[in-house]
Amino acid sequence: MPQWLRFLCAGCPALSVEKPIEPSTVMQFQTEKLRRTIQECQDVDTLRGIAMQLLQLHEKKSAIAEWATKKGVDAECRALVAEMGNNNKLANTFQIIRSDGQSDEIAGRHFSSYDEAHTVLERYYADLSCCDEDEREYYDIVEVNS
């Protein structure tokens, strides 16, 4: 569950995503009353009227559920974009380049953070012994704005 949704639901146990959606006690009583009215009704015109009202109510509830779903998705997308923007993951990446401009298995790789690129270079330099000093490549980490 996204953190922003956990925050919203923290003080509202009724909004918990893990709990199934259940009608309130008042709604259950109203449903039972309508059920009994339908069961006892012998007039086809009255039953037809009830059915049409229920159909209209169902249509409205479906439209509300669809609207709420779209708004929830929009809100989650805005939250993700804002979070990514705050972390500069949308605009900036980091690239390792060789000081001589050549390309190899390390040079040209892109990373989402400076630390990730630095870790790769640390591993590369740790694997070299001082005897390899003449064959050593030199790398830089540059920020690339996209």
Task: Report the pLDDT averaged over residues 41-61.
Answer: 92
Residue 96 CA, chain-centre distance (Å), reads: 30
Q: Is residue 44 part of a domain?
A: yes
Domain around 106:
93-145
Question: pLDDT above 70 covers what percent of the chain?
Answer: 71
CA-wise closest residue to 143 among 106, 103, 110: 110
Q: Which residue has the higher pLDDT, 16 or 19?
A: 19
Domain count along the chain: 2
From 89, 107, 133, the end of a domain falls on 89
Residues 126, 79 share a domain: no
DSSP state of 135: G
Model pLDDT, residue 89: 47
Contact criterion met (CB below 8 Å) for 65 and 108: no
User: Greatest CA separation found in the chain?
Assistant: 100
Cα–Cα distance, 38 to 92 (Å, whole number)? 64
Q: What is the pTM of this model?
A: 0.42
Where are any strands of DSSP class E within the chain? Answer: 92-98, 110-111, 139-145
Per-residue confidence band for 46, with pLDDT thresholds at 50, 70 and 90: very high
* Residue 76 belongs to some domain of the structure: yes
CA 31 – CA 104 distance, rounded (Å): 71
**Residue 74 domain-assigned?**
yes
Amino acid 133: pLDDT: 63
Q: Do 75 and 45 belong to one domain?
A: yes
User: Is the residue at 18 inside a domain?
Assistant: no
The answer to whether residues 98 and 66 belong to one domain is no
Question: Do 120 and 84 belong to one domain?
Answer: no
Give pLDDT, residue 16. Answer: 54
Answer for the pair 111, 95: CB distance below 8 angstroms, yes or no. yes
Rg over alpha carbons for the chain, rounded to the nearest Å, is 31
Confidence bin at 108 (pLDDT 50/70/90): confident
Contact 117, 111 (CB under 8 A): yes
Of the pLDDT bands very low, low, confident and very high (cuts 50, 70, 90), residue 134 is low
Q: Are residues 39 and 84 in the same domain?
A: yes
Same domain, 36 and 76: yes
Average pLDDT, the chain: 79
The answer to whether residues 35 and 58 belong to one domain is yes
Is 15 part of a structural domain of the chain?
no
Residue 16 lies in a domain: no
Q: Can you tell me the distance from the alpha carbon of 46 to that of 128, in angstroms, rounded to the nearest whole number?
A: 89
pLDDT reading at 14 higher than 70: no
What's the pLDDT at 26? 93
